[in-house]
Chains A and B, each alone.
Chain A
Amino acid sequence: MATIELIDLKKNYGAIPAVKGVDLSVADGEFIVLVGPSGCGKSTLLRMVAGLESVTSGRIEIGGRDVVKAEPAERDIAMVFQNYALYPHMTVRKNLEYGLRNRRVKNEEITRRVQEAAAMLEIGPMLDRKPRELSGGQRQRVAMGRALVREPAAFLFDEPLSNLDAKLRVQMRVEIRRLQRRLKTTSLYVTHDQLEAMTLADRLVVMNGGLVEQVGTPVEVYERPATVFVAGFIGSPPMNLIDLDYLRAQSAGTDLALPNGTDLVGIRPDDMVLIGPVEPSIALKATVELLEPVGGESHLHIRLAGSNQLAIVRVPGRPSFVEGSEISVFARIGDLHPYNRASGNRTD
């Protein structure tokens, strides 16, 4: 059990900065997910916390102790790797025991912890098998087990589910969340999958280009994306971003009630509707370009009238639209997200 503090953490590879100064306070027992596109520095950040990458400048404190100079083994962390990194020549049991033996944990204690972890992850019957005899999902569980038995101050997960197929991924996601709730171990979890991020996190850290764009609960991040980048990255399909000038021209006379400095407006596809609401709203004319049915709902790709601006509207069911037909879409004034294009920040 520990807190993790990152203070102005930086990492350069030669002259190329990978992490450009990150500050983050992780509370004891909190589940933090680092999310962002590939190359955003999230993995590097995690590996710095693990001690697998050197720190260019800044501080890392785990449980109040500065660990920048400490070896990975001295940081009291356990890590789950994307490719699991199980020792191929050792049985599952030996894999679980290895870290404990290196730490000279007593035999009875090792047996107890291995049994406990095996029960928790339902890998008891596989303890005497080698990793190559296991399925992908089972290997993933063993990798988790190896972290679990250590009873560390913090778990570090480096895209642990991305080598699994879609169905198993959902199942393991739920399981990881359940385990973490139960053990209350501080966790840092890296993923590029926003659905994973949204469902797992106590708090999300959205990263881009080596910097933190926003820190907040999944609901906060979804409802109030702090930057244009976050607005475009979180949410699927992504938020529509429309020039304020265009909106003004189309909705002449309506008070948009946007703060000064706004020149770009975001509207979630869910917030665009085909029937004018009672609340104050804007109306936009558009041409249907494509209707994409995705099961219980459909994504309507439209082109806004008199512009090249494309947008997506999420509609329930499978409405029948002829491609090329003219329609009107509406959005409540209250659902508009105001941004400044130059700074990339939210203006309200």
Chain B
Amino acid sequence: MVENRPLLNFLSHLLLILGVAVVVFPVYVAFIASTHGPNDFLSGVVPLWPGPHLLENYSQMLTTGLSSSGAPPLLPMMWNSLIMAVGVAVGKISISILSAFAIVYFRFPFRTLAFWMIFITLMLPVEVRIVPTFQVVASLGMLNNYGGLIVPLIASATATFLFRQFFLTVPDELMEAARVDGAGPLKFFWDILLPLSRTNIAALFIILFVLGWNQYLWPLLITTDPHLYTVVMGIKRMAAVADAEPRWNIVMAAVMLAALPPVLVIVAMQRLFVKGLTETEK
């Protein structure tokens, strides 16, 4: 800020408060809805203050779910989401850091070709190759299992580029010193490179965890067995019946529960997350 302008400051605050209000409003309403009984909506409008049914609604969602929707209780679905999110994050980080290590620290025929093949995945999001990818997964017998949910998603050009970029900034002499000190490639990777990449790995993990948790189309295609539903896609099934039955209160409890874990991760690790986001994508 260059000069002091009280009016401008006031307007800025006003704008920000308004912005925050718009951002928070839907979630606030959803939270309020999730604390009421099923009949509180029949008057035609959602109440604006919390009701007394918070624990009841949440525990019902977590343990028994909305039976008429064909979706299981939230707890197993959240477990599936957790496995998928961690699986996708760990998988992407592992195979990307290995590829980046190979591309930066070795010279071999087809090195550039390998780099471009990884690059191409950027241009092929799941959404544009839905049917054939489904067919491949089906023919490999990977429908309705965790492998099918996770493995096809773990190729990652962005993660590979991030690690490559980082490795290029690691001084050459570090690797040379390690070689003189008797470390082979894998020992150098494990003893030196991996510990140096800690911050990058952590930042990337946060972003990829959120990405994995929020997958929607992929679990929709791969899982027909309710035991494997993830929570984000499962909620859609509940919302679909919620219009027929006045059960919005517990559907909103489910929405809150589905959104909470990734939001908590981001708020708790804000600094790392911001670093990871702005550095991965630029």
Contact = CB atoms under 8 A, between A and B. Distances in A.
Interface stretch (A96-104, A189-197, A245-253): A96-104
A85 B179 contact: no
Nearest to A80: B177
Nearest to B194: A89
Contacts of A72: 176, 179-180
Interface in B159-199: 171, 173-174, 176-183, 187, 191-192, 195-196, 198
A87 B180 contact: no
B181 A102 contact: yes
A222 interface: no
Contacts of B191: 87, 98
A73 to B, nearest CB: 4
Contacts of A51: 179-180
A73 B179 CA distance: 6
B177 to A, nearest CB: 4
A73 B181 contact: yes
Which secondary structure dominates where chain A touches chain B? loop
Question: Among the interface residues B171, B173, B192, which one has the most CB atoms of the partner chain A within 10 A?
Answer: B173
Contacts of B171: 83, 85
A79 interface: yes
B176 A85 contact: yes
A200 to B, nearest CB: 21
Contacts of B179: 51-52, 71-73
Contacts of A77: 180
Interface residues of B, number: 17
A111 to B, nearest CB: 18
A87 B174 contact: yes
Interface residues of A, number: 23
A28 to B, nearest CB: 21
B177 A81 contact: yes
A78 interface: yes
Nearest to A97: B181
A85 B173 contact: yes
A242 B173 CA distance: 44
B187 A102 contact: yes
B38 to A, nearest CB: 56
A98 B198 CA distance: 20
A118 B174 CA distance: 22
A88 interface: yes
Contact of A73 (B173, B174, B180, B192): B180
A50 interface: yes
Given A89-B195, A89-B196, A81 B173 contact: yes
B180 A98 contact: no
A79 B196 contact: no
- Highest count of chain A CB atoms <10 Å: which of B174, B180, B181, B191: B180
A102 B192 CA distance: 13
Interface of B: 171, 173-174, 176-183, 187, 191-192, 195-196, 198
6 contacts: A52-B176, A73-B181, A78-B180, A89-B198, A103-B182, A146-B177
Q: Ordered nearest first, which 3 A-B pairs have the shortest CB separation?
A: A99-B181, A85-B173, A102-B182
